[in-house]
Amino acid sequence: MLDPDPIAPHGGTLVDLLVPEGERDRAREEARNLPKLTVNERELSDLEMLAVGALSPLTGFLGEKDYRSILDTMHLSDGLPWTIPVTLSLTEEDLKRIGGADQVALVPADGAEPLAVVAVEETFRRDREGEANGVFGTTDAEHPGVKALHAAGDYCLAGTVRVIDLPPHGDFLQYRLTPAQTREEFRKRDWRRVVGFQTRNPVHRAHEYLQKCAMEIVDGLLLHPLVGQTKGDDVPADVRMRCYEVLFENYYPKDRAMVSVFPAAMRYAGPKEAIWHAIARKNYGCTHFIVGRDHAGVGSYYGTYDAQKIFEEFEPEELGITPLFFEHSFYCTECEGMGSPKTCPHGDEERVILSGTKVREMLRAGQKPPPEFSRPEVAQILIDAMRDSAS
């Protein structure tokens, strides 16, 4: 008989940190009497990811031993691959106020009700320089991840988390599947091999091509757009979601592809984030993961292939999920089809290649890029969104 789950969660068990429904009222009541700690947008994303098991096997915010181990070895202290510390920030004042409390209630910046309770195990001082180098490969304060690190508190609070309520969301409700739910969907569809595609951009023809190349060798595609915090100049998540919907409606077979959202916040940690993204997708039940050029990159902080090369530093079986590496792709007028430098022998004159800057310029002017670059339905949504945001 076939194993019902083709890929085990990272570390073997899918974590569920939600307080059982019948105990929530009491947990909420108790949490109201605990010292409170306000969490920022990124920590709120991490809390949601922890709660639903997207960060399995983590059961809370990490302590110093794991923190150091990740920065020094890209593994948790128990030897499991892990590349980005998941920490809860604490200022000096927080530390004084919370003092020796055993439990702390986490409250979102825009709410009064506690969402979760941390059983405090330790507090420790953040190593800003070590963390900047270990995660982002740079201490340049212009890097968005380093900038966020400087804005964070000097200390971290570690401990196991019990989540009373998931952070409330008003959007994409039908797309917010937990890892248990995506796994259930894959089972229902009888998908044994599933490729995950991470994106924080609209999908143009080039990315559609990569996804469809991968779909040829697996049973299904999970398009898994990141909808947590991104840089201000990234295309807003609601606009991107409309683009994915229209693409799926017109160009993807319904029984072979599905969209669900990934609640993570972007770190822009390039290679380290590529590994972290792959591990999270394994928890969602993906067996394969697409890694393009400059995955999770920003500016020119990372080499073009760094996010692919880093996978060689792990044994395939310790990661479990199989990365699929892709080149940039394009439409070639001579080949009369999509291709990449691996499959098309022609030069730039035959290839329909537009820079991001050029595309934004065209869209702002109300012009659709050529259909070989962007599906007209997608281009129209982006043009409308730019016009609306300008007015």
**Least spacing, CB of residue 346 vs Zn ion, in Å:** 4
Stretch of 23-31, 196-204, 232-240, 344-352 lying at the interface with Zn ion (CB under 5 A): 344-352
346 binds Zn ion (CB under 5 A): yes
338 binds Zn ion (CB under 5 A): no
- Cα–Cα distance, 225 to 261 (Å, whole number): 5
Rank residues 213 and 239 by Cβ distance to Zn ion and give the closer one.
213
- The beta strand positions in 216-285, using DSSP E, are 220-225, 257-259
Per DSSP bridges, beta strands 330-332 and 351-352 are antiparallel
194 binds Zn ion (CB under 5 A): no
Name 57's Cβ contacts closer than 8 Å, sequence gap at least 6: 9, 10, 11, 12, 13, 15, 80
Rank residues 118 and 352 by Cβ distance to Zn ion and give the closer one.
352
- Cα–Cα distance, 206 to 175 (Å, whole number): 24
**Least spacing, CB of residue 304 vs Zn ion, in Å:** 21
CA dihedral angle for residue 49, residue 52, residue 55, residue 57, rounded to 10 degrees: 150
335 binds Zn ion (CB under 5 A): yes
332 binds Zn ion (CB under 5 A): yes
Rank residues 6 and 370 by Cβ distance to Zn ion and give the closer one.
370
78 binds Zn ion (CB under 5 A): no
125 is catalytic: no
Stretch of 72-80, 190-198, 245-253, 340-348 lying at the interface with Zn ion (CB under 5 A): 340-348
Contact 275, 244 (CB under 8 A): no
Specify the DSSP class assigned to residue 34. S
Name 152's Cβ contacts closer than 8 Å, sequence gap at least 6: 40, 89, 126
Residue from 334, 358, 361, 366 touching Zn ion (CB under 5 A): that is 334
Residue from 344, 359, 383, 385 touching Zn ion (CB under 5 A): that is 344
Q: Kindly name the residue from 200, 205, 281, 375 that is annotated as catalytic.
A: 200
Contact positions with Zn ion (CB under 5 A) in 47-66:
none
Phi-psi sector, 137: left (phi>0), alpha (psi -120 to 50), beta: left
Stretch of 91-99, 226-234, 262-270, 332-340 lying at the interface with Zn ion (CB under 5 A): 332-340
Phi-psi sector, 297: left (phi>0), alpha (psi -120 to 50), beta: beta
Per DSSP bridges, beta strands 60-61 and 220-225 are unpaired
379 binds Zn ion (CB under 5 A): no
Rank residues 290 and 332 by Cβ distance to Zn ion and give the closer one.
332
200 is catalytic: yes
Contact 265, 45 (CB under 8 A): yes
336 binds Zn ion (CB under 5 A): no
Rank residues 235 and 335 by Cβ distance to Zn ion and give the closer one.
335
Contact positions with Zn ion (CB under 5 A) in 269-298:
none
**Least spacing, CB of residue 340 vs Zn ion, in Å:** 10
CA dihedral angle for residue 41, residue 43, residue 48, residue 53, rounded to 10 degrees: 150
Joined tokens for residue 290: 């697409």
68 binds Zn ion (CB under 5 A): no
18 binds Zn ion (CB under 5 A): no
Name 233's Cβ contacts closer than 8 Å, sequence gap at least 6: none
Binding site for Zn ion (CB under 5 A): 332, 334-335, 344, 346
Which residues are part of the catalytic machinery?
200-201
